[in-house]
Amino acid sequence: MKPKSYRRGYPVALLIGTEENHATIWQIYSQVAKPQQTLPLTGTRRDQKASYNFHETIINTLRPTLKGGVKSIIIASPPRTNYNEELKKHITAHHSWMLSGPNRTTVSLIVGSASAPHQVATLIQKPDFKELIQENAQQETQDLREILEKRLTTTELVYFSLEEAEKIILHPLTPGKPQPEYLLLTNTYLANSHQKNRLNRLMQIAQNNHIKTRVINQESNTGERLTQLGGIVCLAKKA
């Protein structure tokens, strides 16, 4: 008998569980949390060089996921420690590119261990964690609204239907032609779609190809704007 399959859903955030001698990175999806990598600290936190190199390793590990469109990072550390604060200070001091511009990332802190699956399962059920996810999502959707409005002034870079999105995402494009960058849809469009398998396949392929895929709450300002445009939009960029 084949094991039951499950959908991981769409990407929501990155969770970093920081401990005294390691950090564990998790990708948080709407349906599941998946471990990405555990990074050991070589040396001790008291050694400034070792601590700097450790934090740099974490940032470099995050880069591909950030490029894929995830703009919410939650850093956790156990009670009575400040490992999450140390990482955030490193980001502020050495990686300001993450915190500014239209693609800025929201970095939040939370108390709790996040090294093992059972710890993450407990943490993501906490009201504080859910509140952070909601707050970060609100900031991200506002940023996406700004990007959407700018792209709408150049209509050849905007695709307004599932069929048009499939055409640009699923089929290789001639070099020099616009390339897909964002796939945006509302949660209502996703829930009410009569072609869920087709839509989920498109979203999965888009994510695998590092196209920034986002499901937006229809009740948000950005969601209302997407609804006016049909509920789904693919944004391209000039090659």
Task: Report which of residues 4 and 60 the model is more confident about.
Answer: 60
Long-range contacts of 42-50, Cβ-Cβ distance < 8 Å, separation of 24 or more: 45/20, 45/83, 45/86
Please, which residues have CB within 8 angstroms of residue 20's CB and are 6 or more apart in sequence?
41, 45, 81, 83
The edge-to-edge listing of strands for the beta sheet with 106-111 is 33-40, 22-29, 11-18, 72-77, 106-111
Residue 38: the pLDDT is 97
- Rounded Cα distance between 75 and 15, Å, is 6
Q: Mean pLDDT across the stretch 112-133?
A: 94
> pLDDT tens, 209-230?
888 888 888 888 899 999 999 9
* Domains of the chain with bracketed CATH: 11-141 (3.30.420.60), 152-237 (3.30.1330.30)
Q: Lowest-confidence range among 10-14, 26-30, 110-114?
A: 10-14
CA distance 32 to 48: 36
* Nearest one of 149, 115, 169 to 221, comparing CA atoms: 149
Q: Which of 175, 204, 192 is nearest to 232 (CA)?
A: 192
Note the pLDDT tens digit of each residue in 143-174: 888 888 888 887 678 999 999 999 999 986 67
**Measured between alpha carbons, how far is 135 from 119 in angstroms, rounded to an integer?**
22
- Kindly report the average pLDDT of the chain as a whole number: 89
Q: What's the sign of the alpha-carbon dihedral 17, 23, 28, 31?
A: negative
Question: If you ran DSSP here, which 8-state letter would residue 192 be given?
Answer: H
Tokens describing residue 121: 């399962």
Q: What is the model's pLDDT at position 1?
A: 35
Amino acid at 94: H
Phi–psi pair at 101, nearest 5 degrees: 85, 175
What is the pLDDT confidence band of residue 58, given thresholds at 50, 70 and 90? very high
Measured in whole angstroms, how far is the alpha carbon of residue 182 from the centre of its chain?
12
Q: Which of 133-147, 149-163, 192-206 has the highest mean pLDDT?
A: 192-206
Which pLDDT belongs to residue 70?
A: 84
Q: Look-up: residue for tokens 């998790």?
A: 26
Summarize the confidence of residues 20-27 as an average pLDDT. Answer: 96
Mean pLDDT, residues 15-37: 93
